[in-house]
Amino acid sequence: MTRTAISPRLATRTFSSGLTFAVAATGVLSLRLACVVRESRAPRRGRAGDHGHTAPHGRHRREPGLRDYRSSDDDNGRWVGFPFREGDIVISTRSKSGTTWMQMICALLVLGTPDLPAPLTTISPWVDHRVEPVADVLARLEAQRHRRFVKTHTPLDGLPLDPRATYVVVARSPLDMAVSLYHQGANIDRRRLRELTGEPEPTTPGPPRPDLHAWLVAWTERETTPQESLDSLVGVLHHVTDAWRRREAGEVDVLLVHYADLLADLEGEMRRVAAALGITVVEDRWPALVEAATFASMRARSADLTPDTLGVLRSKEAFFRRGGSGAGREVLSADELARYDARVRALAPPEVVAWLDR
C-alpha cells in the first residue's frame, strides 16, 4: 500500500493490492451488544431506527463471515452494503475509550480547522446506532465532499473490511474504561432512551445501584462473551486483540492508538495519526489544532462535541468527566488487582496486555 500526500480537506490513497445502553442486574449502565442466534429466538418487531437495508421484522441483513453484534439500539447489520469511498476512516472503539476524542482529532486533521461546520456527531455519525434511520445516516455521508470519518463500537470481526478504508482502533486501560462507564451510568436518561428505541417501560423498579468498588470487582470477574457484553472485560480484550491480530497479519489497514498516549503527548499522537492517514497539515496550523483537541477545549465545546443530538444524556458537560488514567487501580485492593491481572493475562496475548493495560 502506498499513500500520497494530501491536503487537510481531501484525502486520497492508492493501494498496491486491488450503548446498547442497558441497566444490568447491578443497576448500572453497560453497553451490551447481544449476539442473536436466529434459530433460537423469535423475530422481533421493527423498532425506532429500523429503516433502510432491512429484512423482515426490521432485522438488518447479515454479511457472510461477520460476527453478529446486536441489541435494542445498536446493530452492526446496518453496515451491510455500506458504500465505502477511497480514504474512509472507521473509528472502532469500546465505550468510554476515546471515541469522541479521536473523532475530534480526525475532524481537525481532515478539515484543517477547529471551526467545525456542524456538530461533531452530524459530521461523524455512529453507523450502528438504531435511534436514527440508517438511510438518513447514509444520505448525510453521501452528501459529504471531504474525507469521511465514522464511528462504531463494533469490533473489526463484525465490520466489513474494505481495502479503501483505514480502521482506527482506540483503546484504554480496561479498569479506567470501566470506571468511566460506571460514572456515565448516572448521566443517562433511560426513559428517553427507551422512547427512542421502542423498548417498554419496566414494570418494577430495578435493584439499587452498587458503589463503584463493588461494581468494579464484579465487572472484573464477570463470566460472559463479547456477544453478550462488549463492554465487559472479556469484550474489551476481544475488541483490542482482534484488531491487533488483523494489523499484524496485514489483512486490513489498522491504526492502534492508546488513550494514555493521547494524554501524555497529544501533539505527538496527532502527528502520528496524520502520518498514518496520509494527511499533510500546514505547520503553522498545528498549535490551533492541538489546542482544540485538548480535554479542556472539548469540554468547553460540549454542546457541539458530545455524541447526543437526541437528548439521551442528562448533561453534555458531564460526558467529559475527567479524562485521566489510573483511576481503576486506585479503587481495587492489592489482592483484587492481582486477580484482575491474572485474568487479563489469561484472556489476551502478552503483547496485547503489555500495550493495553497501562
Q: Which string of DSSP letters, residue by residue, matches 279-325?
A: B---GGGHHHHHHHTSHHHHHHTHHHHSS-SSS-BS-HHHHS----S
> Who has greater pLDDT, 174 or 5?
174
> Who has greater pLDDT, 76 or 45?
76
**Percent of the chain residues past pLDDT 90, beyond the cut:** 60
Residues 6+ apart with CB under 8 A from 14: 1, 2, 3, 4
For residue 95, what is its C-alpha cell? 465505550
Determine the pLDDT at residue 197: 61
pLDDT at 36 over 90: no
> Who has greater pLDDT, 269 or 44?
269
**Short-list 304, 266, 300, CA closest to 286:** 266
From residue 45, how far is each of 32, 58, 59 by CA, in Å?
Answer: 19, 6, 8
pLDDT at 9 over 50: no
For residue 292, what is its C-alpha cell? 482544540
Measured in residues, the chain has a length of: 358
**Short-list 11, 32, 15, CA closest to 252:** 15
For domain 2-356, which architecture applies? Answer: 3-Layer(aba) Sandwich (3.40)
- pLDDT 10s digits, 157-199: 999 999 999 999 999 999 999 998 888 656 566 666 666 666 7
Most confident of 30-44, 277-291, 318-332: 277-291
- pLDDT 10s digits, 321-352: 555 667 788 899 999 999 999 999 999 999 99
**Short-list 289, 322, 13, CA closest to 147:** 13
pLDDT at 248 over 90: yes
For residue 8, what is its C-alpha cell? 487537510
Q: Are 90 and 168 in contact (CB under 8 A)?
A: yes
Binned at pLDDT 50, 70 and 90, residue 202 comes out as confident
pLDDT at 54 over 50: no
Determine the pLDDT at residue 11: 38
**Short-list 133, 168, 131, CA closest to 147:** 168
Q: Are 148 and 88 in contact (CB under 8 A)?
A: yes
Determine which of 25-29, 64-68, 253-257 has the lowest per-residue pLDDT on average.
Answer: 25-29
For 59, counting Cβ atoms within 10 Å of its Cβ (0-12 exposed, 13-18 middle, 19+ buried), the class is middle
Residue appearing with cell numbers 479521536: 102
Determine the pLDDT at residue 71: 76
> Which residues belong to the active site?
153
Residues 294-320: b if buried by 16+ CB within 10 A, e if exposed? ebeebbebbeebbbbeeebbeebeebb
- Rg of the chain over all Cα atoms, to the nearest angstrom: 20
Determine which of 126-130, 148-152, 255-259, 279-283 has the lowest per-residue pLDDT on average.
Answer: 126-130
- pLDDT 10s digits, 128-164: 998 889 999 999 999 999 999 999 999 999 999 999 9
For residue 96, what is its C-alpha cell? 468510554
* Count of H-run helices and E-run strands, the chain: 16, 8
> Who has greater pLDDT, 300 or 201?
300
Determine the pLDDT at residue 128: 95
pLDDT at 52 over 50: no
Give the residue-averaged pLDDT of 40-54.
Answer: 36
Give the residue-averaged pLDDT of 240-251.
Answer: 97
pLDDT at 109 over 90: yes
Determine the pLDDT at residue 203: 74
Determine the pLDDT at residue 228: 92
Among positive and negative, which fits the CA dihedral 320, 89, 55, 62? Answer: negative
pLDDT at 318 over 90: no
d(CA 295, CA 298): 5
* Mean pLDDT, rounded, of the chain: 80
**Short-list 15, 352, 9, CA closest to 161:** 15
